[in-house]
Amino acid sequence: MHQTLKCHPDTRCDAVTRVEVEASRPRLGRLALRYIVSGEIAGLRLPRIAEPTRTDGLWKHACFEAFLRSTTGGAYDEFNFSPSTQWAAYRFEAYRSGVRAAEIAAPHIAVQSDAATFELQVLLELPGDAAWRLGLSAVIEETSGRLSYWALKHPPGKPDFHHSDCFALELPAPSRP
């Protein structure tokens, strides 16, 4: 499913004209994401590719995020993917509470860019065969250090990707073979 993220109205980004995400479940237990940033990519502060290790605090700079919960219940998972290929995964029992590291296999992350496009692709192995609600978002950092916050939908007030309004995409379970 192809989706366009919206910049939070209280933030701006002069270098980016569009952020899109393609989300799919290619088979049971997998989530594939493709983030595409269009604009003047030289105007972005993107970290160098590093070892693809679990790393906290990625959201403080350029970061692509996915929030996932089942269509029932309040628990959810947060996944952070850096342009460096570092990543993080957290499990929340309820809105911003009961957080712990989510035990998942390391995601496969690939990046590529040119003057007008930056792309980050992720493949996650996740348990579960039910439909999921997704919140897709991005933190974009310009070379000036200014951050902008992009999401499928923003709740009123300051940027808050954990808010239930942000879980705006339902991704059905894949068909069984």
Residue pLDDT, tens place only, 80-112: 999 999 999 999 999 999 999 999 999 999 999
20 part of a folded domain: yes
Q: What is the DSSP letter of 29?
A: T
Element (DSSP H or E) covering residue 5: strand 2-7
Which residue has 């059905």 as its token pair?
172
14 part of a folded domain: yes
131 part of a folded domain: yes
pTM for this predicted structure: 0.95
177 part of a folded domain: no
Paired sense of beta strands 169-171 and 147-151, if any: unpaired
AA identity, residue 103? E
22 part of a folded domain: yes
CA distances from 123 to 6, 35, 46, 86 (A): 23, 12, 20, 13
Which residue has 């995964």 as its token pair?
89
Which structural domain range is residue 119 located in? Answer: 2-171
| Total tally of structural domains belonging to the chain | 1
Q: Is 148 helix (H, G, I), strand (E, B) or coil?
A: strand
Say which CATH number the domain at 64 has: 2.60.40.1190
Phi, psi (degrees; rounded to nearest 5) at 112:
-155, 155
Residue pLDDT, tens place only, 17-69: 999 999 999 888 899 999 999 999 999 999 999 999 999 999 999 999 999 99
176 part of a folded domain: no
51 part of a folded domain: yes
118 part of a folded domain: yes
